[in-house]
Structure 1
């Protein structure tokens, strides 16, 4: 079984959300989204995140999409301005698993965007790509991200913490997993419309 190369281009639409490819004209919005201490604290993004960092980021994203090694999509409300990002990478064809990640810019949090985006990409990964196990790596102190993971049906996996050096000190990543065949939360199909008080 093989899932590579991953489909490109790709556009996924749910209730109240559109995931689309990054564009070069997104540069200013991308820099505004990622030049933020909370992003640097929980990820390995460079800090400060400036225009050269944004250009390098878009180049890597485009290359990863064209060669089919990852899915990396802007989170939008209507296909326009990017509000965050969701991605799928490190695909293991034999094990039928992959890692996912997500982030939402500070002005757009607590609107359900991260939950909607992760739910939509999770559904695509399981139903279309036929992956059996999806993984998230989340710092144990990132309560907002773990709440999103739980709402989308992910649960802590019995794996040791992964320690990495970040711009604000070490991060301790716990592994969360979504397993094919696990009963799905009834909210998964309409979570994108529940955009109040959530990340």
Structure 2
């Protein structure tokens, strides 16, 4: 059973990455990273992203961490300068499921940072938090993010898209789920996937 509060503080290491808590001294790097239309297009946040927005962002992050509501870690290679962010939130203890999200500085892409961070946090969620169903919500036009999802073993669920309005126009969020490697026949694997996907609905 997942604890009622997510662990804080937390550092995860592996594959040449160090995922660590955000710090107040990260403000300048955070503002530089998030003051970018390409990121704002896919994440609901102020644009332009200034120092005031950065201070508010770090405050919300710290509050969410100390109350155990989410895991929100800076992506680094050595514990130093943040190059992106990975999150786990929306934890449902009864269903043992949660949602994840990630972003990487546009100047640091094509280095495997997003896939490495997502894999690390997904593995931690499964092994240490005992979450059985891990989800991503990705705009269908965000091809870079969908490529990361596929690389890390996430697959489209076939659930109806989540439609919403953004400053950049309508957005269609598809649901992706981390799929375990299955043994046995293809029919058995399909039955297992269907049970995980639809068994909780009435």
Asked if these proteins are the same fold (TM beyond 0.5), I'd say: yes
1:4 is aligned to 4
2:99 is aligned to 99
RCO comparison, higher one (Cα < 8 Å, 6+): 1
2:181 to 180, 183, 186: 183
- Alignment check: 8 A CA contact 2:2 2:131 kept: no
Q: TM-score, normalised by structure 1?
A: 0.89
Deviations 1:49-94 (A, max 9, x none): 1111111100000000000000000000100000000000000000
2:60 is aligned to 60
CA distance in 2 between partners of 1:65 and 1:175 (Å): 25
Greater Rg, structure 1 or structure 2?
A: 2
CA distance in 1 between partners of 2:27 and 2:171 (Å): 27
1:140 is aligned to 140
1:75 is aligned to 75
1:150 is aligned to 150
2:196 is aligned to none
CA distance in 2 between partners of 1:121 and 1:130 (Å): 12
Q: Show structure 1 runs of 4+ deviating over 2 A.
A: 1-4
User: Counterpart of 2:41 in 1: which secondary structure?
Assistant: helix
Q: TM-score, normalised by structure 2?
A: 0.88
CA distance in 1 between partners of 2:90 and 2:161 (Å): 18
Within 5 A, what are the aligned runs for 1:123-138? Answer: 123-138=123-138
CA distance in 1 between partners of 2:15 and 2:102 (Å): 18
1:26 is aligned to 26
What is the number of equivalent residue pairs in this alignment?
A: 182
- Alignment check: 8 A CA contact 1:29 1:81 kept: yes
What is the aligned-residue RMSD (CA, Å)? 1.0
